[in-house]
Amino acid sequence: MTRIENYIGGQFSGAESGDTLPLIDPSINEEYGSIPASGDDDVERAVHAASRAFESWGGSTPTFRSGWLNRLADGIESRLEQFAEAESRDNGKPVSLARTVDIPRAIANFRFFAGAILHDSSDAYTDTPGALNYTLRHPLGVVGCISPWNLPLYLFSWKIAPALAAGNCVVGKPSEVTPLTAYLLAQTCDEIGFPEGVLNIVHGSGPSAGAAIVTHKDVRAISFTGGTATGRVIAKSAGEALKKVSLELGGKNPTIIFADANLDEAIDGAVRAGFSNQGQICLCGSRILIERSIYDEVRDRLVEAVSAIKVGDPLLEDTQMGAIVSEDHLNKIIHHLSIARSEGGVILCGGERVSLEGRCENGFFFSPTLIEGLEASCQTNQEEIFGPVATLLPFDDESKAIQLANSTPYGLAASVWTTNLETAHRVGHELQSGIVWVNCWMPRDLRTPFGGSKDSGMGREGGFHALRFFTESKNITIKTA
Ligand code: NAD
């Protein structure tokens, strides 16, 4: 059994209470370990360790911090296979995906911000009559980073890396559902001698350990990725304490296919957008909008492609879709399917729990599902399902496509498939979405702003946007004449 521990002030320990939560491998539905069920006392110790460490880390040079982030990236890279297997076991995702996307991206996050901090600069206004203005950017102090289960190390590192690069000390909490790679990260810190207390990792449930981080008076900012309902709770409590908060929340993203699109590429893109990581990516395109003149052809080709996705044991190299992350989440998806049926949806493929043979016979698998015949305003087309389920909706013209795309409370990401550059510009301009991809889905330049509008969140991560979030500006005016 794997016994995960908190990492506080450079030391490993259980929760002060001695309580634990179970760790379940979703591909076999077996308990394989435990995490500390941390609470106020553990967070208190972590904040204290971080505050002490900030006394030196907060005043260190960008070059010093950059060096440590690069060493951390090297440490993860040297254990890449171990990290990939842990991510797959914890989350149920294919190990091939963890090996080629999740872990390399986590390494890239540390390397990227190790570089970015060396290229940051601040403003100076030298032409104010009689005065010189320049702006300093100070780290905030102790910050909280709270992340979800779908891309565990990838999203945890996406917060921790800029926070540390900017000179803050971190109290981080990974999802209690997928804590294993955060524990390996702590072990990596320990191995390379990462300065004690600079990065503290506390495990436990959201309402207990997470809420203790959010409400701690010495935690100056919260960077949160997770569900919209949780985001609202955090925003309320952070607002009360006037804390900075960055919220990356849910999505119900449209994939828009125009009749002039390269259909081979569009269909391939729509399938990847809908079903990568079992459809459990906030950026997944779960509503596929298709121009009516090509609707039948695209529907039939999508059904063929989606039916061919191989659902299987995450540890097998040829598995394309692994397990759903937990039994609770599987039940949520099954519930959404019953709603879709009651709303009159026609299940074109999938729609059922999958039973595998052998090692994974008790695992939480669900078949990739396409549904048509639903109104845009129905629950299935409005609520985030966060599973391998996409709906198809026809549209007659560009303005209808835009109206359908914008018709949910969310506004995170969209992909537009067209060979007409003017259509791409016009539609891209009109979409209520933080991210628009044209003729592609998911390529990321880490310098670009990342985040959503409407119920998809507040604030932007990525590049200098993240470094701004994790610093406080101070302007200095000096009389010159
Ligand atoms: P969740 O909101 O249940 O949990 C996310 C994290 O918040 C976990 O670590 C959890 O323990 C913690 N948490 C829960 N309640 C808390 C509280 N009261 N105070 C403090 N922390 C608390 O989300 P999830 O189910 O882990 O993840 C799935 C959701 O995340 C989906 O809605 C998905 O769209 C969203 N997501 C968004 C992005 C993005 O960048 N916009 C990326 C990935 C996932």
Residues 450-468 pLDDT 10s: 999 999 999 999 999 999 9
Give mean pLDDT, residues 369-394.
98
Distance 148 CA to ligand 1 centre (A): 4
Q: Whose CA is nearest to atom 12 of ligand 1?
A: 206
Q: Is the CB of 286 under 6 A from ligand 1?
A: no
Q: Whose CA is nearest to atom 30 of ligand 1?
A: 226
Distance 227 CA to ligand 1 centre (A): 4
Q: Is the CB of 233 under 6 A from ligand 1?
A: yes
Q: Is the CB of 43 under 6 A from ligand 1?
A: no
Give the CATH fold of the 254-446 domain.
Answer: Aldehyde Dehydrogenase; Chain A, domain 2 (3.40.309)
- pLDDT at residue 261 in the model: 98
Give the residue extent of every domain in the chain.
Answer: 2-249+456-479, 254-446
Q: Is the CB of 287 under 6 A from ligand 1?
A: no
| Residue 412 alpha carbon, nearest atom of ligand 1 | 41
* Pocket test residue of 150, 252, 278 for ligand 1, highest count of atoms within 8 A of CB: 150
For the stretch 311-360, pLDDT in tens is: 999 999 999 999 999 999 999 999 999 999 999 999 999 999 999 999 99
- pLDDT at residue 436 in the model: 98
Give mean pLDDT, residues 285-291.
98
CA dihedral 295, 298, 302, 303 (to 10 degrees): 60
Distance 226 CA to ligand 1 centre (A): 2
- pLDDT at residue 347 in the model: 98
Active site residues: 248, 282
- pLDDT at residue 8 in the model: 98
Q: Is the CB of 148 under 6 A from ligand 1?
A: yes
For the stretch 202-255, pLDDT in tens is: 999 999 999 999 999 999 999 999 999 999 999 999 999 999 999 999 999 999
Q: For the chain, what percent of residues have pLDDT higher than 90? A: 100
Q: Whose CA is nearest to atom 43 of ligand 1?
A: 282
Where residue 481 falls among pLDDT bands split at 50, 70, 90? confident
CATH placement of domain 2-249+456-479? 3.40.605.10
Q: Is the CB of 461 under 6 A from ligand 1?
A: no
Q: Whose CA is nearest to atom 35 of ligand 1?
A: 226
Q: Is the CB of 384 under 6 A from ligand 1?
A: yes
Give mean pLDDT, residues 251-276.
98
For the stretch 109-167, pLDDT in tens is: 999 999 999 999 999 999 999 999 999 999 999 999 999 999 999 999 999 999 999 99
